[in-house]
A and B are shown apart, each in its own frame.
Chain A
């Protein structure tokens, strides 16, 4: 568990800022296969199609993609964006600032303009009021709307015009794009195919005079083996791999596609899916199904978990295995349904009345969404306890290339069942050494028992005596150790990154892992060391791994996406350790840039020293580079600066 999985080599100390000579390099020296592109428009303007198609094309050209979306809460209309980061190796995060920003209208330009690198590339529709924010950017006006309306057969063609333009600017092989259009639209008839191809061509032609200036180029590489998958699909397939029998769910953003996916697929495996009337009913059905002997789960988001809390207590009390997938979104209340936040940790760990132990897991990436889903079922079955699985909006909507899972390599654990002998004098809640007692199920056993939310004795009969409550509370909590032991045996529930010898440590959880890793890599290039322990088992905590990590640390910072520093508070309370809290609560994920800034701060760099380096890190490495302060450092982006808080106990 404490082994160093990956250690970043520390780059030799160089001058922090090494401005490139403006005359260095020629026009053909382009950045190859390394670019961050954001497409922004209103919902319904084709942002998503443009982005999805571009992602598929780049993937087919052998690049690794990191995909993120920000959606309006409305069905149609409202600003939305689709971001793609492409590289020859797997990008660890969505990145910090943009290389290319494509804006379909002025409203979205105003929202996103500050995220473009000072010398990035701005492509904008004619109505955008481009201002000084991007004075050093390469700016191209492409009248997407006009072209679509006047030449390509209607405003709906805007997505294809944009795709053609972006592909053209990046020197993307035309055949690959055209092939995709055929693949997607051939069955809809020749007219549709032709209309889309026309849009593409018009987009390409509109930028043909500019491609020489754009400092990026996409080149074909050997295509990579693997599956391109999002977090919700990975959760759904993980549940199938774990052997789920019944799934009950209620639609909610951003978790709905887990329910949809399983509704489509589970019948193929003899599994049963039901859309419940509300989240309380969802978990009720799950508990009934699990009580009757099948592995069962539900998916929801924060508001749904809030509703389920009473039944989570019942599952804990009556010792019924169940898995609750929570794709977190911004809260409280209805909050920010389509934004990123990690603020359900308290709810997951503590939610409910009484002492109701449960397992809480948090995956960091798409691979985890599959692997850890199987572990969620394993832990739940093993400990006969509810397991909450905290993904988030970002994971639900991300897309990554993962290797095809080797199904034989996974350990699948089922609940302990009574032996024939145990059934003779069956005690459902027998006090055992581990706290785990064999669970009978109706029908196939020559015995019966009552599962109850009342305090009970070993046979399950109501018993509210002092002794019963004490002993049964012990039993229920003892089982947490079973989870800790399992986690230690597996060694996969906490991950190290960075320089283990560094006395600066970051503790992270959930989908912030990649951005932190990238920040550590960037810091290492500046000779600044930092190390990271990423925790996947949020309750019970993998205490040994955390304490070992802390041994040589002078400063420990918990970086997380919520207002109050929920994980930091958990660590202080549960382990009595001093940690600092670094939080962001804007509905957006961390950028590596923000975390790098923290590392510099912890190394004692003042802003005079750190700002130029931060600019360098975020700059396009091209002859057009212009030393310019980054957004957020000259007061342009107060919202962002104000949202990040450091607190010390």
Chain B
């Protein structure tokens, strides 16, 4: 018997997304995952940035922190440091994650902060109405979607970045890809990512129906990973990530290593209990 049925995680606020937006499925899968994992909303914090997808915390019962553009990972790191017993989930879009927030990703990954980072990737800036994002497909044939955006009216001449390969190289300990049109698998990926101790990254292909409708393109590119892939094999994972013609869906890579909390706790444990009681007077004495 789950702690709460999935629908109980809905808040009174109605999602502001356009009909047909992939983010509805992303949210629904999260309700299901929360229910399946018995997530206690009072012991969970969802941190989001700015963009269509970053409105998500408003629609799901839990503590939430809707921050500024691109700074979700540092804020989530602070939340987790303050209380390691919290379940911390970070949501954002491709612009929030890979453009303005790109500088924080390697550091969250190398620290192996025990948080789950869900990036709803629609290859476009939707909230600001159709500008190029770091994952917008290019004229050279890489990526998905329109090659002409409002900010690349003469053609998208920049190549998109490869989020999966990037995450692997940065040292993320869990890397997966899902698709909003495959909600059951998405729920399973959330479950695995939230259970994973360490920095979990999920790229969710979540098309924008208004400014970059890519359902058909993605439907043609996806191949679910079914048993034949060993997610602990880094080289195999890298090969999948570098296959830019195919969107492999599933857990690409997973490995256990000490989390940031583990590492900080080991430092705290080293200071003996007497010292940890923290006598400021003893410290004052060193200034005499």
Contacts and interface: CB of A to CB of B under 8 A. Distances in A.
Interface stretch (A187-195, A271-279, A570-578, A632-640): A271-279
B81 A289 contact: yes
A284 interface: yes
A453 B85 contact: no
A173 B76 CA distance: 58
Given A288-B82, A407-B281, A454 B66 contact: yes
A314 B42 contact: no
Given A407-B280, A442-B42, A284 B271 contact: no
B66 A453 contact: yes
A451 B64 contact: yes
Contacts of B268: 267, 270, 272
A462 interface: yes
Contacts of B245: none
A287 B78 contact: yes
Contacts of B107: 276-277, 281
Interface string A73-96: 000000000000000000000000
Interface in A138-187: none
A482 interface: no
Interface in A443-486: 443, 445-454, 461-462
A267 B74 contact: no
B104 A448 contact: no
B220 interface: no
B61 A448 contact: yes
A599 to B, nearest CB: 36
Nearest to A447: B42
Interface string B52-67: 0001011001111111
Interface in A294-309: 294, 296
A310 B64 contact: no
Contacts of B45: 291-292, 442
Interface in B74-88: 74-83, 85-86
Contacts of B57: 450
Contacts of A407: 280-281
Contact of A442 (B63, B78, B264, B283): B63
A442 B185 CA distance: 29
Contact of B75 (A288, A313, A442): A288
Nearest to B100: A280
Contact of B68 (A282, A294, A311): A311
Contact of A461 (B58, B86, B271, B283): B58
Nearest to A265: B283
Given A292-B83, A296-B82, A267 B271 contact: yes
A246 B84 CA distance: 13
Given A268-B276, A284-B67, A461-B13, A448 B42 contact: yes
Of A288, A291, A453, the most chain B CB neighbours within 10 A belong to: A288
A443 B86 CA distance: 7
Nearest to B12: A461
B130 interface: no
B67 A314 contact: yes
A448 B74 contact: no
B47 interface: yes
B67 A443 contact: no
Contacts of A443: 42-43, 83, 85-86
B161 to A, nearest CB: 18
A270 B276 contact: yes
Contact of B78 (A246, A265, A313): A246
Contact of A448 (B62, B71, B80): B62
Given A267-B271, A278-B103, A404-B284, A289 B82 contact: yes
B192 to A, nearest CB: 23
Nearest to A462: B58
Interface in A389-441: 404-405, 407
A248 B74 CA distance: 10
B78 A284 contact: yes
Interface in A496-531: none
Contacts of A240: 278, 280, 283
Nearest to B270: A267
A289 B113 CA distance: 14
A1 interface: no
Interface stretch (A227-235, A332-340, A342-350, A609-617): A227-235
Nearest to B79: A288
B275 interface: yes
Nearest to A292: B82
A452 B271 contact: no
A293 B64 contact: no
B267 interface: yes
B66 A284 contact: no
A286 interface: yes
Nearest to A446: B42
B43 A442 contact: yes
A318 B104 CA distance: 22
A494 interface: no
A237 interface: yes
Contacts of B283: 237, 240, 265
A450 B65 contact: yes
11 contacts: A277-B107, A280-B74, A285-B77, A287-B75, A314-B67, A407-B281, A443-B42, A449-B63, A451-B64, A451-B65, A452-B64
